[in-house]
Structure 1
Amino acid sequence: MAAEGKGVLLKADAIAETFRVEIKSALSNASRPPKLVGILATSASPSKFYAEFTKKQCDALGVEFVLRRTGQAADEALAPGEGVEEAIIEANEDDTVDGIMVYYPIFGAQQDHYLQQIVSPFKDVEGLHFKFHYNLYHNIRFLNPKTLASSLPTSTSNDTPPAVNDEPPPGYVKSILPCTPLAIVKCLEYVGVYNKLLPYGDRAYGKTITVINRSEVVGRPLAALLANDGARVFSVDIDSIQEYTKRPRQAGESEQTQRKYFPRHVVHPASPSLQDVLALSDVVVSAVPSKEYKVKTAWLKDGCVCLNVAADKNFEADVREKASLYLPTIGKVTIMMLLRNLLRLQQYRSLMGDAQSSS
C-alpha cells in the first residue's frame, strides 16, 4: 500500500502477467513453438541486457529463441553493425524463422531505419516496417496478410473493413503495432485510463495526455495511437510541442471520404509551454534517454498518471506527491507485446499457407 497522501507505485509485473497467461494459452494450441531470431550487432550494454532478457522470457514460455551475434557483438575487433544486413537477409530467407528482433541502435537513426525496412514484414515482431507504420498512422487496424507481399501501402478504399470492435473480420488479422507504444497503451487500459464503456476506437476520449519524446520508435507512434483512440495528445520534443487529435467528420463529406480518412489523427503546432500542458494532462508519459532529464513534480496535475519509459528515471523522486499512480518501468509488458506480435506473425503465415492450399 502507498503511504497516506501519496499515489500508488505500480510494478509492471501484474500487467505483464495477464498477457503471459494469454501467450501460454496460445502456445499450448500452436502446431509448433514459434522461433524468434535476435540479431545483436554491437557491444552496447543496454542491447546486450535486452537480448538476455528476451531469451529469459522466451525460455520461460517455451518460445524458441536464437541469438545471432555479428559485428562487434561477435568480435571486439570488428566494427559495430558489421554483417548485420546479411544476418537479417539470412533470417528473412529461413522458413523456420517466424520473427526477427534486431537490437537497435546500431548506426544511427537514418541507417537503422534502412535496416528496419529490410526485415520482412512477415517476420517484423517490432512493427517497424513501413507497412505497419502506414497502417498505424492511417488508423488501419486490420489487414489481409496477402497485402504484405506488395510494396504498396495498404489500401484505404472501401475494401478496407472499418474497425467496429477489436475482432478482425473473416480473412483479416490485426496489424502489427510497435512493441513499446503498444505496451504503454495496454498499461493505460489496465489502470483504467481507457473507458471500456465507450465505443471501440474512442475509449481514450476526454483524456489529455502528454508524451515527452517524438522518436519514430516510441513517441510519435504512441501519440498517433492515443489520438486515434480519442485522446487529446501533446507531443513534446526538444524544440517543439505538437497537438494530436482525432480528425472530426467534416460537413458535406462523401461517405467514401469519411471511410477513407475518418477517424485518422491530425497534427497541429501547439503554443502552450511544457508547464502549461503538464498542468492539463491526465496522463504523462516520458521516454527521454537522459539521466539529467526530470519532469518537474510541481508542474504535474493533481491526480495524474505518470509512466516512465526511459532506461533512466525521468520523474523526480517525489512524483507520487502529485501523481495518483506512478509506473516506473514497462519493460516486462513490452516483451509480452513482442511475443504477442510473434504469435500474430505466425498466424499470418498460417493464413497465407491455408489460402495457397485452397487456391
Structure 2
Amino acid sequence: MTLMDGKKLSDLKKSQIKSQVEELMKDKNARRPKLSVVLVGNDPSSELYVRNKKKACEMVGIIGETINLSATCSAKELTKVLTDLNNDSEVDGILLQLPLPSHLNEEDFIQMISPDKDVDGFHYINQGKLLQNLPTIYSCTPLGVVELLDYYKIDVVGKNVCMVGTSNIVGKPLGLMLLNRHASVDFCNRETKNLKEHTIKADILISATGRKWLITEDMVKNGAVVIDIGTIKDPITHKLYGDVDFENVKKKASFITPVPGGVGPMTIACLLENTLKLYLNHKNNCK
C-alpha cells in the first residue's frame, strides 16, 4: 500500500509556483498576481479557510486580498463588490467563500463572477468547457485529485472509476475530468441502490460525501486506488475523519489518501495554480 501524500505534493507545487512568480517579477514593469476573496459574515470555519488561503498566497508571492462583508449585507451590496472586482484590471482571480447567509442565493452570485476570473471553476461557461473537453479553469479539489493521480503515475485510461458523491463542486467535475481522460466513470449519489455493488467493481474508488466511514473494507476491491475527499470533524475530540474507514481499507488498497494530509492540501495548491494561470491569461491578452 502506498500512501498518497498530498502535503508533500502541495509543498512541491507551492515551491514551483513561487519560483514562477519570482521569475515573472524580474520584469520591473510587471504587477503581481492577485487573488481577491469575498467573505460574507463571520462563520468561524469560513474565516479559517480564508486566512489559510491568504497565508498560502503570501508564501508564493501572490497578493491575497480579503473583502469582508457583514452577514446582513444586501444582494445589491454583494453585487457591487463582485462587479467592481470583475472590472478591476489588477485582480486576476475572484473567490466567493461559501456558504453565504441564507438570504443570498449562492448560484446567482457564483455566476456573477467573470469566467476569466473564476478561480474556482464554478461558472457555467467554465463547466461547459469541461463538458466539451476544452481548455478551462478546473475546480480546485478535482484538479488536486487528478494531479495526485498523475504524481503517483496512476493511469486512468480504461479503468473503472466509481465516483461516490455528485456535487457540482467536486463529484461531477472530477468524474468528467476522468471521463475526458478515457476512464469509465460510474456516478453514485444518495439515491444509489446497493452502493457496494458499484464500489466493489472500481479500480479507482473516490468518495466525496462528508459521511464518516461510509466506505468500509468490504466495499473495496483488492488493489484498488482509494481517494478520500470527505472531511468530517468530530464535535467532541475535534479530530478529522474522512468518508473512508482508513485503518481497515488501507489493508486492501494499492494507493490511498489519508485524512488529513491527502486531498485537502492539494485544494489550496491548485487555488494558487489557478490564480497564476488566470494571471498569465490576462498578461497574454494584454499584449
- Give the TM-score of the pair, scaled to structure 1: 0.70
Q: Are 1:132 and 2:126 an aligned pair?
A: yes
CA distance in 1, matches of 2:254, 2:42: 39
For 2:101 and 2:175, the matched residues in 1 are separated by: 26
Give the aligned partner of residue 190 of structure 1. 151
2:246 maps to 1:326: no
In structure 2, give the amino acid aligned to 1:349: H
CA distance in 1, matches of 2:46, 2:106: 14
C-alpha separation in 1, matches of 2:211 and 2:43: 16
- Give the ranges of 4+ consecutive aligned residues of structure 1 lying more than 4 Å apart after TM superposition: 79-82
User: Which residue does 2:37 correspond to in 1?
Assistant: 38
Instruction: Give me the whole-angstrom Cα distance separating, in 2, the residues matched to 1:62 and 1:25.
Output: 9
Q: Which sections of structure 1, spanning at least 5 residues, go unmatched? A: 1-6, 73-77, 142-174, 195-203, 242-272, 355-359
Work out whether residues 41 and 82 of structure 1, in 8 Å CA contact, stay in contact via their aligned partners in 2.
Answer: no
State the alpha-carbon separation in 2 of the partners of residues 113 and 215 from structure 1.
13
Return the match for 1:345 from 252, 266, 278: 278
Matched residue SS, 2:244:
coil
Q: Per-residue CA shift, 1:328-351, capped at 9, x if unaligned?
A: 231221111111111111122122
Deviations 1:25-82 (A, max 9, x none): 220222232111111113333322210110111111111111111122xxxxx36988
The whole-number CA distance in structure 2 between the counterparts of 1:129 and 1:297 is: 37
**Rounded Cα–Cα distance in structure 1 between residues aligned with 2:43 and 2:163:** 26
RMSD: 2.1
Once the two structures are TM-superposed, the CA of residue 118 in structure 1 deviates from its matched residue by: 0.5
SS of 1:321's equivalent in the other structure is coil
Unaligned runs of 5+ in 2: 25-29, 233-241
The answer for the alignment partner of 1:300 in structure 2 is 220
SS, match of residue 215 in structure 1? coil
* Amino acid in the other structure paired with 1:303: G
How many aligned positions are there?
268
Deviation at 1:352, TM superposition (A): 1.8
Corresponding residue SS for 1:335: helix
Residues 41 and 80 (structure 1), Cα distance of their counterparts in 2 relative to 1, 3 Å cut:
farther
The equivalent of 1:216 in structure 2 is 168
Higher RCO (C-alpha 8 Å, min separation 6): 2
What's the % identity of the aligned pairs?
Answer: 27
Superposition pairs of residues 265-280 of structure 1, within 5 angstroms = 273-280=194-201
Rg bigger for which structure? Answer: 1
* TM superposition shift of 1:107: 4.9
- Tell whether the 8 Å contact from 1:182 to 1:337 is kept in structure 2 after alignment: yes
2:21 is aligned, of 19, 27, 40, to 27
| Cα distance, 1:81–1:330 mapped onto 2, change above 3 Å | farther
Q: CA deviation at 1:211?
A: 1.1
Contact 2:40 2:101 in 1 (8 A): no
TM-score, normalization by structure 2: 0.87
